[in-house]
Structure 1
Amino acid sequence: MLFDRVLIANRGEIAVRIARTLRGLGITSVAVHTASDAGAKHALEADIALQVPKYLDIEAIIRGAVASGAQAVHPGYGFLAENAEFARRCAAAGLVFVGPPAEAIEAMGDKIRAKATVSAAGVPVVPGGAEPADSLEGWRDFPALIKPSAGGGGKGMVLVRSAAELPEALASARRTARAAFGDGTLLIERYVESPRHIEIQILADSHGNVVHLGERECSLQRRHQKIVEEAPSPFVTPPMRARMGAAAVEAARAVGYVGAGTVEFIVDGATGAYHFMEMNTRLQVEHPVTELVTGLDLVELQLRVAAGERLPFGQEDVRLDGHAVEARVYAEDPARGFLPTGGRVLLLREPGGGGTPDVRVDSGLVEGGVVGSEFDPMLSKVVAWAPDREAALRTLDRALAGTVVLGVVTNVPFLRALAAHPAVVAGELDTGLVERLLPDLVPGVEVPDEVLAAAALVFHDLPQGDDPWEVTDGWRLGERAWTTWRLESRDGVHAIQVRGLPEESAEVRADDGQAAARIRKDGPGLTVTIGGRTEHYVHVRDGQTLWLGRDGRAWAFTRHLIGDPGDRPGAAGAGDGVVRSPMPGTVLVVKAQLGERVSEGQPLVIVEAMKMEHTVTAPRDGVLSELPVEPGRPVDMDAVLAVVTSEEA
């Protein structure tokens, strides 16, 4: 018999997604949230919401589950999902842990032990070796990949190409591993050049039945973290699927696995040879693509297996129908090296629903919500299905174009460019492809003329009083006059002239009289016609900042008054020696001392945000004259971290 009440020990889009299945099954959902997350979407949409000190507080979560009358706990992914102690504590409290046995979590959660376990079962493993990182003094097999032994999701993974890079890479990976997983144990293995990352979804019940649901291609990654996934893989043939699926089933059987899990393989794109990499003992972020091509609800199957039911089908019953592609929307800025961003969601438009069964959006976003730096930067997942891969990519592009997040910089334009790239369309993928294509994929900061025109008109369209002399339409005898507006964006300062009002289809042109546009109000947005093109924008004001959105892109503007500095606020260059934080986060390490002589490029401060480290270096030779930060302190984007003064000064 299924449960009556289930606590979801997670947040964000996965907690919302689990609650959706619980609602469909008539099961009461119990959410947990921290004080800062009280207004988060997952807390608002659950039937019951409980506050806990933090999402990793096992005691508080179990107390909340018992007090709420929950019979089971679903951990989602991340946080406590692969914590064997949490699984045991749930059982001790009389709660069903919706996941595998603690012993299976331990066996597969430790990558070093997992490789030995599956290798003994006959599953091929990554060539080169897996050794505890504490014994790496003699490691000479490069390139090599360092990984946290206790975690996944790409966090803490570092590619090392020479022995000289090894000490700093180990220190960085260990810090990240401790912060993300509470365990600094690392492993190192031979890096397979130009591999494909292909994973197999498995399901197992407590009655000895194990099946696989085909593969997912996860080769499109940045910083070893997946950003676009699809099912099935354009590379895998039916015979190869059968072989890899059988290997995944054997890996699961080797540890007595129960529930939903994923066996990940590194595949040689030239030969098709595959090697076990790791097993994730939980639901994966990319599970929706498998759901769309199989027609199965993996969360429902997790719940039924946890309740002791048998799998309702066998391997011969699994069918793959059509093609699905998922894109992860992150709060990050591709133009700044994918550094995490943040802010308040001022305006939100998401595709899906409303009679579009080919598009699904799993999202943790809500208008008015704050995106901070303490959690993973993934905000939502846009998933598209179609009868074939080419149509699925087109559907995904349309869905991303209909995604608008104003107030927070996201990677949506980058995702559109990636999904449309000829190499991706052709299915010629490997895990290094995104890095090689970056110059073609990252949008510049240049602001198109039509965007500037729309921004100027919004500033121009101020509330009108009763006095006709206050109307800003530029009326004069003979013809209307032009009003010049100076707007500031990441691209610099722009002078734009406006005359007329949007109700009358106002005219806008550059200060030099070029690129004239006509603009009119269109409901909540603006329609801009320039050079034969017509574009529609949505917009929102946040104090002195104006945000404009179109086709998945967003721009921010402020008024630039005469006498203001010409450079963007906070964008001090190397010439003035000011070192600023490239992202909102926390100071992790200070690597220099006040008064120390430093050289250009020398590491000064390490800032961490959303489980990602960024090393800030000295912009020039000189003396460290100011150092207003210390480890553990939060910093805002563009906050001053240090000042390097020239020796002469």
Structure 2
Amino acid sequence: MTSSKSIATAANGAATAGAPFGTVLVANRGEIAVRVIRTLRELGVRSAAAFTEADADARHVREADTAVRVGSYLSVVDQVRAAVAVGAGAVHPGYGFLAENAGFARACAEAGLVFIGPPADAIELMGDKIRAKETVRAAGVPVVPGSSGSGLTDTELAAAAREIGLPVLLKPSAGGGGKGMRLVRDEAALAEEIAAARREALGSFGDDTLLVERWIDQPRHIEIQVLADAHGHVVHLGERECSLQRRHQKVIEEAPSVLLDPATRAAMGEAAVQAARSCGYTGAGTVEFIVPGADPSAYFFMEMNTRLQVEHPVTEMVTGLDLVAWQLRVAAGEPLDFGQQDVTLTGHAVEARICAETARSGDGRIDFLPSAGPVLALHEPAGRPGVRVDSGLLAGTEVGTAYDPMLAKVIAHGPDRATALRRLRAALAETVVLGLDTNTAFLRRLLGHPAVVAGELDTGLIEREAASLVPDGVPDEVYTAGALLRQAALAPAPGADGWTDPFSVPSGWRLGGEAAWTVHHLRVPGHEPVAVRVRQGEVRIGDGPVTAATVTLDGARARLHTGGLVHTFFRAGDWLGRDGESWWVQPYDPVAAALRGAALGAGGGALTAPMPGTVTVVKVAKGEDVVAGQSLLVVEAMKMEHVITAPHDGTVTEIDVSPGSAVAMDQVLAVVTPAERPGDGTPDPAAGRPGEAS
């Protein structure tokens, strides 16, 4: 569909007259920086990686031809100075950070740098969702009914929501990626949700302007990839189905969509082309539509992303195009050398986003709490047929909460959708990240859900199917392997002469009786602790039956032999992993836990941090009376807010944090002593349930 013409010649600086760049600064980090560097390497273009102090040893820094330190990825001044310092002729912004910052695009131009993206005016126009809707509506593109005008006050937003009719969606005008978006179904919650959406929008985008749109129940999220050059040519590269989302953020994407027939695909593609033309777009971009599942022909424009999308690999796999290469070619002034009639979609591709987060279910919903920690062990499914991995990870990488939680993407292609899904599930089963929680196993279960297999998708599916997507407990074999490994670690090493004192071996042997049990108290975060008894090839979990079990070590793998089965785990420290799942099997001290509980009081009103992060809002003070469900604190991690609520009616007897406090997972934030029952002076145990993040 397109020639093999490369920008390598035009990109090698002085070797070609008028060539605009010879070195490209990648002004980003993580998997997208690694992915851009890969294409630069293939094209023979010199790559320079921007990095902060915390990322000095990151994978994108190691893989680039050179690297330059910046104070912040979000600093326009730092990034421009870095590009000049390494002699770059162009800057690739990746996605996130400054990718959709018109000021950055203009600063690059003023410094004589080529910004590998659309013109600043197009970024500015489409970055303002209110102006964007007005512009594409004038071009004949259907838009979602919603508020009009910029800079609406809280009162005006609430009034617009009531006029549109609840449920409505609050959206930051300046941003995307689901951050700051709030679905409001209850009019009584409007004021608090507007305030929360403004805080998230300001924190993520530096702009708290909001708009409100009609919420379409059971919608499908379908986007069209467009590519435009500076010579007036605009084409679309088909659609991507992005309906599998949590908290308005995509987790699985695929191309093409099973929902669209050729006529609807052509119509939506033409609408996307018109949207791109309406703002003078050049480069790679994406036009997003919301589509009622029952009537795909009734699609509405939502927004345009003026950058490369996270999910661009699925389009690359079905079209055979390298979108990053085409971004560079367009930036170098080349025209598209193919037309719309040349674009064909071959096979099917599905992508899964691997994120640092813990998926927990409760009350019929799923919470995704940020996770952090060092990557103790890593195995990625590279080399499998039809499978591609875009990753920013290395063993030893320290994953924090300062950036977006996405770590890597696993993408599978096949001749049909069923094959692509099967290949992706197998690749996820082979993916191992130990040292922090990821959503890998959750994604694998999601891909096997009957509705997903059948292509019956919508943006609310994950929330509705919470119970089937997150397991309730930890498999017994995990505790068995954990206890046996800890038991093996108790054995002393042989002396210099190879002799081991038999009385120092923890075999449980004793004179004149059967072997004694060694008790290991273990806990997997998010689950109740268990006691596992071990003796000479036997294991007993809690009050369960005694079973024969042994474990053998083979490098990074531990093989558990029990019940005629062999369970193979990857192992690193106290972490075990298999089939994409991972467990941190921690030692647990019941005595210390009991003392801690007593110190906090019998009422059980201790509120702890559900994940590592930063306290952004404290709404109560010590001595203040509160009611069950009342919002007390807000903790932010990875640009998402988590509200900590009162577990019951009572009094705040301890408040141990203030706005700006950095907190660790399970750190005590506050204590709410339960209110007394009327008449008998004792706490009411039925006053509420433990505090939780929402």
**What TM-score comes out, normalization by structure 1 length?**
0.94
SS in 1 for 2:103: helix
User: CA contact under 8 A between 2:523 and 2:587: conserved in structure 1?
Assistant: no
Q: Which residue of 2 aligns with 1:109?
A: 127
CA distance in 1, matches of 2:461, 2:148: 25
Of the structure 1 ranges 203-212 and 40-49, higher mean CA displacement relative to structure 2 is found in: 40-49
SS in 1 for 2:85: helix
Q: Structure 1 residue 468 and structure 2 residue 502: aligned?
A: yes
SS in 1 for 2:534: strand
Q: Structure 1 residue 607 and structure 2 residue 635: aligned?
A: yes
1:403 Cα deviation from its structure 2 partner: 0.9
Amino acid at match of 1:181: F
User: CA contact under 8 A between 1:330 and 1:377: conserved in structure 2?
Assistant: yes
SS in 2 for 1:320: coil
Q: Structure 1 residue 485 and structure 2 residue 540: aligned?
A: no
1:470 Cα deviation from its structure 2 partner: 2.1
Q: Which residue of 2 aligns with 1:219?
A: 243
User: CA contact under 8 A between 2:607 and 2:644: conserved in structure 1?
Assistant: yes
Q: Which residue of 1 aligns with 2:687?
A: none
Of the three residues 534, 558, 579, the one matched with 1:526 is: 558
User: CA contact under 8 A between 1:155 and 1:176: conserved in structure 2?
Assistant: yes
Q: Which residue of 1 aligns with 2:157?
A: 136
1:450 Cα deviation from its structure 2 partner: 1.3
Of the three residues 517, 538, 550, the one matched with 2:570 is: 538
Amino acid at match of 1:362: D
CA distance in 2, matches of 1:216, 1:236: 10
Amino acid at match of 2:484: L
CA distance in 2, matches of 1:412, 1:259: 32
Q: Structure 1 residue 415 and structure 2 residue 436: aligned?
A: no
CA distance in 1, matches of 2:210, 2:145: 17
SS in 2 for 1:252: helix
Of the structure 1 ranges 99-108 and 530-539, higher mean CA displacement relative to structure 2 is found in: 530-539
* Count of equivalent residues: 637
Amino acid at match of 2:290: I
Q: Structure 1 residue 332 and structure 2 residue 362: aligned?
A: no
Listed as ranges, the gaps of 5+ residues in structure 1 are 501-505
Of the three residues 452, 476, 482, the one matched with 1:455 is: 482
Q: How does 1:338-417 map to 2 (within 5 A)?
A: 338-353=368-383, 356-417=384-445
1:561 Cα deviation from its structure 2 partner: 4.6
1:365 Cα deviation from its structure 2 partner: 1.3
User: CA contact under 8 A between 1:492 and 1:567: conserved in structure 2?
Assistant: no
CA distance in 2, matches of 1:234, 1:489: 43
Of the three residues 193, 197, 200, the one matched with 2:221 is: 197
SS in 2 for 1:492: coil
SS in 1 for 2:140: coil
User: CA contact under 8 A between 2:26 and 2:93: conserved in structure 1?
Assistant: yes
Distance 1:572 1:267, change over 3 A: farther
Distance 1:181 1:198, change over 3 A: same
CA distance in 1, matches of 2:529, 2:87: 59
Q: Which residue of 1 aligns with 2:212?
A: 188
Q: How does 1:68-79 map to 2 (within 5 A)?
A: 68-79=86-97
1:492 Cα deviation from its structure 2 partner: 2.7
Of the structure 1 ranges 29-38 and 414-423, higher mean CA displacement relative to structure 2 is found in: 29-38
CA distance in 2, matches of 1:374, 1:8: 19
Q: Structure 1 residue 628 and structure 2 residue 660: aligned?
A: no
1:47 Cα deviation from its structure 2 partner: 1.5
Distance 1:563 1:293, change over 3 A: same
CA distance in 1, matches of 2:611, 2:514: 45
Of the structure 1 ranges 132-141 and 370-379, higher mean CA displacement relative to structure 2 is found in: 132-141
SS in 2 for 1:138: helix
CA distance in 1, matches of 2:207, 2:587: 48
Of the three residues 124, 145, 149, the one matched with 1:127 is: 145
Q: How does 1:415-454 map to 2 (within 5 A)?
A: 415-444=443-472, 446-454=473-481
1:259 Cα deviation from its structure 2 partner: 0.2
Distance 1:573 1:370, change over 3 A: farther
User: CA contact under 8 A between 1:146 and 1:173: conserved in structure 2?
Assistant: yes
SS in 1 for 2:201: helix
Q: Structure 1 residue 244 and structure 2 residue 268: aligned?
A: yes
1:341 Cα deviation from its structure 2 partner: 1.1
Amino acid at match of 1:600: A
| RMSD (Å) for aligned C-alpha atoms | 2.1
Distance 1:572 1:111, change over 3 A: farther
Percent identity over the alignment is 60
Amino acid at match of 1:155: K
SS in 2 for 1:565: helix
Distance 1:96 1:605, change over 3 A: same
Q: Structure 1 residue 47 and structure 2 residue 65: aligned?
A: yes
SS in 2 for 1:153: coil
1:517 Cα deviation from its structure 2 partner: 2.6
Of the structure 1 ranges 483-492 and 187-196, higher mean CA displacement relative to structure 2 is found in: 483-492
Q: How does 1:571-586 map to 2 (within 5 A)?
A: 575-586=603-614
Amino acid at match of 1:208: G
Distance 1:338 1:572, change over 3 A: farther
Distance 1:574 1:178, change over 3 A: farther
What are the Cα deviations for residues 7-49 of structure 1, in whole angstroms up to 9, with x where unaligned? 0111111011101111111111111111112122112221212
What are the Cα deviations for residues 50-100 of structure 1, in whole angstroms up to 9, with x where unaligned? 111111111111011001000000000000000001000000000000000
1:572 Cα deviation from its structure 2 partner: 8.2
What are the Cα deviations for residues 99-142 of structure 1, in whole angstroms up to 9, with x where unaligned? 00001001111000000000000011113444544222422121
CA distance in 2, matches of 1:187, 1:308: 36
What are the Cα deviations for residues 421-453 of structure 1, in whole angstroms up to 9, with x where unaligned? 000000001111111111110122x22121111
User: CA contact under 8 A between 2:253 and 2:311: conserved in structure 1?
Assistant: yes
SS in 1 for 2:465: helix
Distance 1:583 1:365, change over 3 A: same
SS in 2 for 1:575: coil
CA distance in 2, matches of 1:300, 1:374: 30
What are the Cα deviations for residues 574-599 of structure 1, in whole angstroms up to 9, with x where unaligned? 93221111111111111112221111
Q: Structure 1 residue 319 and structure 2 residue 355: aligned?
A: no
1:464 Cα deviation from its structure 2 partner: 2.3
User: CA contact under 8 A between 1:108 and 1:114: conserved in structure 2?
Assistant: yes
Of the three residues 525, 534, 544, the one matched with 1:498 is: 534
**What TM-score comes out, normalization by structure 2 length?**
0.88
Distance 1:510 1:162, change over 3 A: closer
CA distance in 2, matches of 1:479, 1:21: 69
Q: Which residue of 1 aligns with 2:616?
A: 588
Of the structure 1 ranges 120-129 and 196-205, higher mean CA displacement relative to structure 2 is found in: 120-129
User: CA contact under 8 A between 1:574 and 1:620: conserved in structure 2?
Assistant: no
Of the three residues 303, 308, 327, the one matched with 1:278 is: 303
Q: Which residue of 2 aligns with 1:503?
A: none
Amino acid at match of 1:136: L
CA distance in 1, matches of 2:589, 2:192: 46
SS in 1 for 2:388: strand
Amino acid at match of 1:496: V
1:609 Cα deviation from its structure 2 partner: 0.7
SS in 2 for 1:334: strand
Amino acid at match of 2:487: H
Q: Which residue of 2 aligns with 1:37?
A: 55
CA distance in 2, matches of 1:540, 1:80: 36
1:484 Cα deviation from its structure 2 partner: 1.9
CA distance in 2, matches of 1:571, 1:237: 64
SS in 2 for 1:242: helix
User: CA contact under 8 A between 2:618 and 2:634: conserved in structure 1?
Assistant: yes
1:255 Cα deviation from its structure 2 partner: 0.8
User: CA contact under 8 A between 1:509 and 1:517: conserved in structure 2?
Assistant: no
User: CA contact under 8 A between 1:56 and 1:79: conserved in structure 2?
Assistant: yes
1:167 Cα deviation from its structure 2 partner: 0.8
Of the three residues 606, 620, 625, the one matched with 1:597 is: 625
